[in-house]
A = this chain, B = another copy of it.
Amino acid sequence: MHRATDQAAPIDALPKCLTGIAGFDAITQGGLPRGRPSLVCGRAGCGKTLFAMTFLVRGATGFAEPGVFMSFEESGEDLAQNVASLGYDLPALVAQGRLFMDHVRVERAEIEETGEYDLEGLFIRLGHAIRTVGAKRVVLDTLEALFSGLSDTALLRAELRRLFGWLKEQGVTAVITAERGEAGLTRHGLEEYVSDCVVLLDNPVAGGVTTRRLRVVKYRGSAHGANEYPFLIDA
């Protein structure tokens, strides 16, 4: 048990970080919580990676905030190709030092040895990436790649706190994507409790028609529109 009594911290109004996604910035009255990690969750095909990528690209091009995209499943080439139709030129941003793309391949052998991904190794690698471009924004895509081997909920909770704590210490505004689960907003149904800000993307089918929707489920420290809003990203 580590003692961490914080008796007299000075109050600051919660600063925010414009994402550049017009509707989202309006609903949240200014974007994501600056310097904190946020969770963007949803089912396959709901637009999690697109949300995260737009957050980085707009940050780099509109707000002079370099970013790091750490991917655990898609390669940098695939990601670049996937967003090219939106007019995002990732290789150019990378070349200009405004974006750092890192593709981490979690190998089977690693999982078989320890049953989980080594967070310390991630911190070293991500720290290097942040320093390289002076990143103010970070994306981790996706949480499941890190913790799918952890079935003990007490341990998972502790590791999530450790990851989120480390990101806060770096002073970056972070987006972590997460897959939708059965029992809650996320796989284990507890990630959303540990997070300061939770955005849920959805693409429900009703009467054969699909609509993309976005809802800010939780936003510690800020009023926010809590309804469901249509979600559109275009360049």
In the assembled complex, 10 residue pairs joining A and B whose CB atoms fall closer than 8 Å, in A order, are A11-B80, A11-B81, A11-B84, A14-B84, A44-B185, A44-B198, A45-B217, A81-B221, A82-B221, A208-B213
Does A179 interact with chain B (Cβ within 8 Å)?
A: yes
Closest B residue to A228 by CB, please name it: B208
Q: How many residues of A contact B (CB 8 A)?
A: 97
| A83 lies within 8 A of chain B by Cβ | yes
- Cβ–Cβ < 8 Å partners of A2 in chain B: 105, 107
Asked if A218 is an interface residue, CB under 8 A from chain B, the answer is yes
Q: What 1/0 flags go to A192-235 for Cβ under 8 Å of B?
A: 11111010000101001110110101111111001110000000
Given contacts A94-B7, A94-B8, contact A221 B1 (CB under 8 A): no
Q: A81-B221, A227-B209 are in contact. Are A111 and B193 (CB under 8 A)?
A: no
List CB contacts (< 8 Å) of A1-22 with chain B: 1-2, 4-14
A76 in contact with B198 given A89-B11, A158-B106 (CB within 8 Å): no
